[in-house]
């Protein structure tokens, strides 16, 4: 995945917590922030599920299609 540089304005206490976690875990500040954003935005959920699943790719696809069919036939 391509990385881009950005500037953020965040609370000083949050930045201290990021720096503390980065030092504790041996990661860069940006890695800690990126991991927190991914978790909060739910971006890592599918990878975690896939890593824990014993389904084959075909079985996973069929399960996904079944869920899609159900969602389309049961609108909110």
CA dist 24 and 15 (Å) reads 14
The tens digit of pLDDT for each residue in 27-69 reads 999 999 999 998 888 787 777 777 777 888 888 888 889 989 9
DSSP 74: S
Do residues 49 and 42 touch, judged by C-beta distance below 8 A?
no
CA dist 72 and 54 (Å) reads 26
- Note the pTM of the prediction, 2 decimals: 0.59
């Amino acid at each position: 995945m391509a990385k881009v540089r950005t500037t953020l304005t965040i609370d000083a206490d949050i930045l201290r917590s990021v720096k503390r976690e980065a030092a504790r875990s041996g990661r860069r500040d940006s890695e800690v922030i990126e991991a927190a954003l991914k978790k909060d935005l739910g971006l890592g959920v599918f990878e975690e599920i896939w890593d824990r699943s014993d389904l084959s790719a075909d079985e996973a696809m069929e399960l996904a299609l079944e869920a899609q069919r159900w969602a389309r036939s049961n609108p909110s």
